[in-house]
Amino acid sequence: MSVRQSLLAILDQGPCYGYQLRAEFDRRTGSTWPLNVGQIYNTLERLERDGLVAKGAADEQGHVYVEITDAGRLAVRGWLDSPVERSTGTRDELAIKLALAATLPGVDVAELIRTQRRASLAQLQALRETAAESVEGPQELARSLLVDAMIFAVEAEVRWLDHTEQRLAQHPRHAIALELSTERPRRGRPAAAASL
């Protein structure tokens, strides 16, 4: 998720100070991705360095307002008009955990999958209960869209767990465990993996 682009999009609505940006981000995303104020101020410093925002005057309480520049408005338009590109690799902790567990001797991967499935189904139930709440205004609509996305992601995770369980059942446990390699790795960057 791009905190940088999200803050710029909010600033495109008008000048804000740091805590105000945090509150607006939370309000517009249903507090589904909490940002700390330090992250906001660090991002604002980088945006200012890049010429996308400029500091304005301070009010009576000492809040320094930040305003978007013309270059910042162009960046927001470009972000909103472009599709989100997914990376070819994964940093999904569950996928990495199961891939490693499947290659480690002595790990009960089936139990690991069952434990995760129970947790995922509990999360799915909680999300569905949240989704059943009424949607009355733009703030509630924004939150419900994010909850819907989380529901679809957890449903996909449960389907993937089922798929993984079936795939692992096709392989004898001893055939997939990997011993440590005796080959010494070379220094430097590893060779690029085949494209997924």
State both tokens at 35. 């940002």
The answer as to whether 151 is a domain residue is: yes
CB contact at 8 A, 160 and 117: no
Report the CATH number at residue 45. 1.10.10.10
6-59: pLDDT as tens digits:
999 999 999 999 999 999 998 888 778 888 889 999 999 999 999 999 999 899
pLDDT digits (tens, 9 = 90+) for 132-168: 887 788 888 888 898 999 999 999 999 999 999 999 8
Which of 38, 43, 44, 46 lies closest to 66 in space, CA to CA?
A: 44
186 in a structural domain? no
Q: pTM (2 decimals)?
A: 0.70
**Which domain, by its residues, includes 61?**
3-81
The answer on 11 and 55 residing in a single domain is yes
